[in-house]
Amino acid sequence: MKTFNKTLLSLTMIGFGLFSTNLLGAQGVRFTIVDGDVSQKYAKMISTSLEDTGFVLSDPHERINDAYAKRYGNPEDPDYDKDEWNVNLDNLGFYTIAHDEKLNKLLKVAPELGGFSPFNHLIYKNKSENKTYVGHLDPNTMLDIVGVKDSNVREEFVSLFDPLDKWITDELGGEVKTTTFDSLSAKPMMTYEFEFDRPEDITEFTATFQEEFEAAFEENKYIIAGFKDFKEGYEDLEMEFEEYDAYWVYSLCHFTFSYNMFNKGRPDTGVFAPCSMYMYIKEGTNKLVIGMPKLSNWIAVGSVKDRAKIEWTKKIDSEIMSIMKSLGAREI
């Protein structure tokens, strides 16, 4: 049984293209930039005192750059990148977090929030400069991507980030900078419905579907990087969540894609990784609703111009949609 918490160019060279001061642009990513390498300090604080902010850590993935070196930088590995391997990162870490307590109320009226619940609190350091970057996607942009328009939900969700950001500033110091971008694509989400014959015990369906889902993605070389079961978690916390018979979120990663994006000049786009795909069944229904932010958002929000990276994201978006359709999900 899965459980609730189971589960090269430096930015200086990228320069004004990343940290734009254009006040007309939408806010993209909030980065705290600290002199030196604060990787160990950050890892300790997020594992010991994050809950002081109300957020909970679910699936930490520390030092992903070491895994890149072991696989793509190893001449003995079949995936060795003999043409382009370079050690471009001193550190790259993904820490997926969510404010479980406050989300209990918000998910009931805006289940789409699962597209960024949990979301990645990113840390990275380029080898080419003595600075550490810690940050997350702007919450308003999260809301714009998943399509939440309710002003009360938006206000409450955005307010969750104030204690988190203050905690980072108080603990790490540094300089805060926020990226900007022009616009999102017309359809930033992929959404599906899956109708099924409802058994007496809904877990008979969910267990079978999860097994088939995981097998399909793993067969296509994706990693199930995390799993968060909100329904089960709220039962454990004795918090009412009766609006749903099931609600869970997968974290997906395509390792080769991530290597070609993050170790080749754009570790900042790691705020989107791993991709959160939410799935829920409304109480008493026979319909599984599925949603995930498209990887095209990485290109829009990150102002990515590199043609190879753009083509990669299109390929992954298309592939994920094909896998979902092969499972019998209907695009909506």
Render pLDDT for 25-84 as a digit per residue (tens, 0 to 9). 799 999 999 999 999 999 999 999 999 999 999 989 999 999 999 999 999 999 999 999
Closest to 58 (Cα-Cα) out of 105, 135, 119: 119
* Separation of CA 189 from chain center: 13
Which residues neighbour 116 within 8 Å (Cβ) at sequence distance 6 or greater? 137, 142, 145, 146, 276, 293
Determine the pLDDT at residue 20: 36
Determine the pLDDT at residue 39: 96
pTM for the whole structure:
0.91
Determine the pLDDT at residue 177: 96
DSSP reduced 3-state for 248: strand
Q: From the first residue on, what is the mean pLDDT of each consecutive set of 10 residues in the chain (332 residues)?
A: 37 35 70 97 96 95 97 96 96 98 98 98 97 98 97 98 97 96 94 96 96 98 97 96 98 97 97 97 98 97 96 97 97 94
Determine the pLDDT at residue 25: 78
Which residues neighbour 190 within 8 Å (Cβ) at sequence distance 6 or greater? 291, 292, 293, 294, 317, 320, 321, 324, 331
Token pair in block for residue 130: 């003595």
Determine the pLDDT at residue 7: 35
Rounded to 5°, the CA angle 279-144-122 comes to: 75
β-bridge mates for residue 32, sequence order: 134, 176
Name the pairing type of β-strands 89-98 and 119-126: antiparallel
Token pair in block for residue 41: 């300090």
Which residues neighbour 33 within 8 Å (Cβ) at sequence distance 6 or greater? 131, 132, 133, 174, 175, 176, 177
Per DSSP, helices labelled H in 160-248 are: 161-172, 202-219, 230-236
Determine the pLDDT at residue 62: 96
